[in-house]
A and B are shown apart, each in its own frame.
Chain A
């Protein structure tokens, strides 16, 4: 078995009558010449590290080396939200918190990158809070997320330097959207739509890190990416379809990424990094 596109992955899941995550796991095991249990065990280790970073992000007093980030996850976690529900509010806090743990030299799992590491783990906690899903289903959903990430890296990019933030937080959000859709009982086709809808909403997002650091606006964009993932999963689960097929959306992401000027691809020469305040921060921390 192999897959190079969402269409192929969805088709395989349909043919084998299994979850997308199980297909991704089976392909990985075959490719690595390891048993599925061994591969699953490796993902359990990653999930354990994610859980530690999720906890740390909303309980510790975090401050990055530069002083540009830290504390927002903890602040937001204990707050009563005005417009969104408590569960989503706490999940957003966790996304902020994990990204802050990363910025402060804590231990995280890159997902797909270090700068976008908060989105997928935080989304998993929402599924636990709302649907009371089992740990083993979380692990399978992480394989679903990984399959989506692999396809995006194949057809487009998961590097901010190549494709802007849409390639990092955008892909992380698409991975989370697919995982959330699966965990709520969505079909493989719905997973495809959730990925397409999510990426469509994040297309064009630039990578403009202030002072070249993985902090501003990266921490914030983990919260934004998470919200897009939740929205896309809900839309897909309701039966709403992306009018553009998912693989064509991923192709569009590559085209948009290639069209971005270098100043908006992680060089810290444009966007928020090049604002008067952004430049003052650069001088202060350089």
Chain B
């Protein structure tokens, strides 16, 4: 963790212990994954890599991820009993310790989640210190988003004009772009875009984009 920009980065966050990187960040990874899925989680396979696999249990990383998938935030005292609550509500949960290889950050979690409508996602995210997170892959496509901003996510077929369409929607709605990340499997294959914005976009603004893409999500900041 680098320089604190705010008083509330050194006196804060308000969180459930014991560890900002292993507990608070894990909740946020769960929260953003649920937001990307866009509906309640019915089934979750949670793969813990590196330090999460080694010390995750003692830090309550397992409970933290499930709490986030249930939509609880990092200060919610239900985190401690989240697994029982989730099971009561019918969530099927499987934890796995994995080795994703040296290319991955020591604090990496990969989630395979399925929603009520059978939609499913594979989301890979990391904890970067101080409770801050980054989503680095969605369905195997590289992306970068922090969860600190209003974010537009699109997964679509790679062809000209999609990025221009997204940025013109933002210009029309007077929304300022903070960061933007695009990637693709190969030319003409699946492509992904994540745009972090200083202001929210109204859902109807992206309806046209939604018609042309496989998946479009608007996600509010989770912290």
Residues of A within 8 A of B (CB): 24-25, 28, 31-32, 39, 42-43, 45-46, 49, 64-66, 68, 101-115, 117, 120, 142-143, 145-147, 149-150, 153-154, 157-159, 161-162, 175, 211-215, 268, 285-286
B203 to chain A, nearest CB (A): 27
Interface of A is mostly: helix
* Residue pair A214, B8 in contact (C-beta under 8 Å): no
A146 to chain B, nearest CB (A): 4
Name the segment of B52-60, B161-169, B191-199, B209-217 touching the other chain. Answer: B52-60
Interface size on B, as a range, is: 35 or more
* Residue pair B18, A46 in contact (C-beta under 8 Å): no
Contacts of B4 in A (CB 8 A): 112, 149-150, 153-154, 158
Contacts of A110 in B (CB 8 A): 11-13, 15, 20, 131
* Residue pair A105, B79 in contact (C-beta under 8 Å): yes
* Residue pair A285, B57 in contact (C-beta under 8 Å): yes
Known: A120-B11, A212-B51, A212-B54. A154 touches B3 (CB 8 A): yes
Closest residue of chain B to A121, judged by CB?
B11
Assembled-state Cα–Cα distance A68/B59 (Å): 12
B129 interface residue, CB < 8 Å from A?
Answer: yes
* Residue pair B59, A214 in contact (C-beta under 8 Å): yes
Known: A45-B14, A106-B17. A153 touches B2 (CB 8 A): yes
B124 interface residue, CB < 8 Å from A?
Answer: no
Known: A45-B14, A64-B18, A153-B2. A146 touches B58 (CB 8 A): no
Total A-B Cβ pairs within 8 A: 144
Closest residue of chain B to A53, judged by CB?
B17
Residue interface bits B48-86, CB-to-A below 8 A is 1, else 0: 000100110111100100000000000101011000000
Please pick, from B1, B6, B18, B55, the residue contacting A105 in the complex, using a CB distance under 8 A: B18
A254 to chain B, nearest CB (A): 12
Please pick, from A115, A149, A153, the residue contacting B18 in the complex, using a CB distance under 8 A: A115
Known: A112-B4, A212-B55. A107 touches B10 (CB 8 A): no
* Residue pair A102, B6 in contact (C-beta under 8 Å): no
Assembled-state Cα–Cα distance A110/B6 (Å): 13
Contacts of B15 in A (CB 8 A): 107-110, 114
B25 to chain A, nearest CB (A): 11
Assembled-state Cα–Cα distance A142/B3 (Å): 19
Assembled-state Cα–Cα distance A162/B3 (Å): 12
* Residue pair B58, A150 in contact (C-beta under 8 Å): no
B33 interface residue, CB < 8 Å from A?
Answer: no
Contacts of A42 in B (CB 8 A): 8
Known A112-B4, A114-B24, A153-B3; 6 more pairs at CB < 8 Å:
A24-B7, A107-B15, A109-B15, A146-B10, A149-B11, A153-B10
Assembled-state Cα–Cα distance A153/B2 (Å): 7
12 pairs of residues in contact across A and B, judged by CB atoms under 8 Å? A25-B7, A49-B14, A64-B18, A64-B58, A105-B16, A105-B17, A142-B11, A145-B11, A146-B11, A159-B129, A211-B58, A214-B19
